[in-house]
Amino acid sequence: MPLAENPEVAARRRVLAELLGEFRRTAVLVPLGDGPGPDGEPALLTADFNGVRFILAFSDEQALARYAQARGEYSREWTYRTILGARLLDVAVPAAGVPCGVALDCADGPEGMVLPPVRGIVPDEAAVDRDEDQADEGDSA
């Protein structure tokens, strides 16, 4: 049975679409990293994994505290910004200049969520799976 007709695949896509929509409408906490970002503002905290950068975001202060505890940095002061999920995906990810996604509540194991830099999640121009022919046409305009 082709994937497009598989009911299990269709159901999983619906769940992903719902989760993505909820993330886009939700303000999340994003710790600030070291040094300035590309816009001169403090850089957002990121982690690189297999050549992909991930902006670390947290659903609330408790999730950020669990991350700090897991890193053994619970006693340090964590400065963060509150940013709408849509703004992270639509503005911060493309501004990274490298393949970039978002990791939400990364210290929470399967309760966390990884939003990779692929079409349908990030803007097409920032997606690693974009059609290179279309990307080349867009660059020449």
- Of 117 and 137, the one with more pLDDT: 117
- CA–CA gap between residue 16 and residue 111 (Å, rounded): 14
Percent of the chain with pLDDT over 90: 70
- Tens of pLDDT along 6-49? 899 889 889 999 999 999 999 999 999 877 776 777 899 999 99
What residues pair up with 78 in beta bridges, in sequence order?
none
**pTM of the shown model:** 0.84
**Residue 90: which residues within 8 A CB-CB, separation 6 or more?**
122, 123
Confidence of residue 139 (pLDDT cuts 50, 70, 90): very low
Q: What is the DSSP letter of 79?
A: -
Indicate the SS3 state at residue 4: helix
Give the pLDDT score at 71: 92
Give the pLDDT score at 113: 95
- Say if residues 107 and 67 touch (Cβ distance below 8 Å): yes
Give the pLDDT score at 100: 96
Alpha helices in 1-141 (DSSP H): 7-25, 61-70, 85-87, 93-95, 132-140
